[in-house]
Amino acid sequence: MPLFTVKVKWGKEVFPDVEVNTDEPPLVFKAQLFALTGVNPNRQKVMMKGGTLKDDAWGNIQIVEGQNILMMGSKDEDVPIEPTVKPVFVEDMTETQLATVTNMPAGLTNLGNTCYLNATVQCLKTVPELRQALVDFNAASSSSLSNFAPAEKITIAMSDLYRTMESNQTIPPLVLLQVLHQAFPRFADKVEGHYMQQDANECWVELVRMLQQKLPALKNKNNDRSTTNYKSAIDQFFGGSFDVEWKCVESDTEEVTKTTESFLQLSCFISQDVKYMHSGLKNRMQEHITKHSPILGKDAVYTKTSKINRLPAYLTIQFVRFFYKEKDKINAKILKDIKFPIEFDAFELCTPELQEKLEPVRSKFKELEDKLAHESVKPTAKQLAESKQEEKATAPYWFEDDYGSNNSGYYSLQAVLTHKGRSSSSGHYVGWVRQSPTSEKWIKCDDDTVTPVTTEDILKLSGGGDWHCAYVLLYGPKLLPMDTSSVSS
């Protein structure tokens, strides 16, 4: 692999030991310069012996070890803004202009069948604690990501990307894509010179697993004396655990064995009789598995019953829509319509011990609902507008001794990752995200096109045809308003 170390001069700044891989397109090298300087690739003019570097090909340029390279270009914030701007009416705005004036989040450029990565990044970005953990993450300073292990590379790239996305402009996730390809070469597979489509849930799982290794647990800022039993923020906010019982169907004398299992994601299995997400999850909680029986001395069928003993703040649910079709050698898709709720109650899936712990906060939600149901006076339009504008304080969603847990069992949907197509290796992925945890507004993140949508649009993603089908759902904690006049202390 032709790997060189060069020196880059930009204005008064000099960046030594910048690595260049001429097997990769020049745009990847420009992405490294973007990470170092903050100058977008489309504003960069990179000059060296042999000419000016283009985006798609190295041309006649021959890189040598230790070469001096000159880069010219300004950061977006340093570029002068034209003083006179013609007024544009909302009716005449493009989707991109509309996204900017309505404070839409940044879009992500599709770099060639990379919609699976873009949709995953947008969905995970809805978790404020994850964003905070990435802001707090400190890596040893270096001019090149090549000095780090894969998990640290991905964590740094995610942190930099989320920080750049705060500008609300379309961003090319070049560095994250590059380190993802290095860590997991299967995501870099190509057909006829183009990247192949990948499974978005596989990307989700691998990114979360990398972050799990490097992001330390967060401390509860509202309680300086609080401690945590978690090493990772991922385990803290995304991780749950099961109490599992194994009962041998073929032996009455074999005792029931009990184990525990951890999870970062729940699976909703889709069968002929499953029409709702809740029933698909329940099917996963009780299943028949064949394994060796020490009493019978042979393989036997066991009933595996799982109950959740720890609910995470953020619950990830995967709809198992793909199965391998031997005849066609593809991961075919189950298009069946599976209804999912905007608000989800996980109480029934929990152990009796956890259910008892959930009751106090659940009773407060019930009191609030009863009070609202008995209020016959409707608020005026002005009061309604004011109540939506102000961010009301909310009660802690976690148990006092377990920051990052869910203390009620109630969840609100905050992100949906969908797939449109017939197999996981083709089609198109899109992220649909709630604008904020307390907002009723939703946003469709279709690569670099970001548009507002309604809750009704989200509920239409349940499947049943060639339209976008829900594939991965992310639920966050349902927040209880801190209103002492409506909820007893």
Active site residues: 115, 428
**C-alpha dist (Å) from residue 460 to 162, 417, 455:** 29, 13, 9
CB atoms within 10 A of CB 241: 16
Q: How far apart are CA 426 and CA 211, in angstroms?
A: 27
Phi/psi of residue 174, nearest 5 degrees: -65, -45
* Best CA proximity match to 445, nearest among 98, 123, 101: 123
The pair of three-digit structure tokens given for residue 142, joined into one six-digit string: 């270096």
Rounded CA-CA distance 308/243 in Å is 6
Q: How far apart are CA 295 and CA 247, in angstroms?
A: 12
Asked whether the beta carbons of 215 and 444 are under 8 A apart, the reply is no
Contacts of 68 (CB under 8 A, 6+ apart): 6, 7, 9, 48
Q: How far apart are CA 301 and CA 250, in angstroms?
A: 7
Q: Where are the beta strands (DSSP E) in 277-321?
A: 286-293, 298-310, 315-320
| Burial tier of 376 (Cβ tally within 10 Å: 0-12, 13-18, 19+) | exposed
Q: How far apart are CA 380 and CA 388, in angstroms?
A: 12
Sequence-ordered list of residues with C-beta below 8 angstroms from that of 1, at least 6 positions apart, any chain: 21, 23
Q: What angle do CA 320, 321, 326 make, to 5 degrees?
A: 105
Q: 174-183 vs 200-214: helix axis angle to the nearest 10?
A: 90
Residue with tokens 């019930």: 366
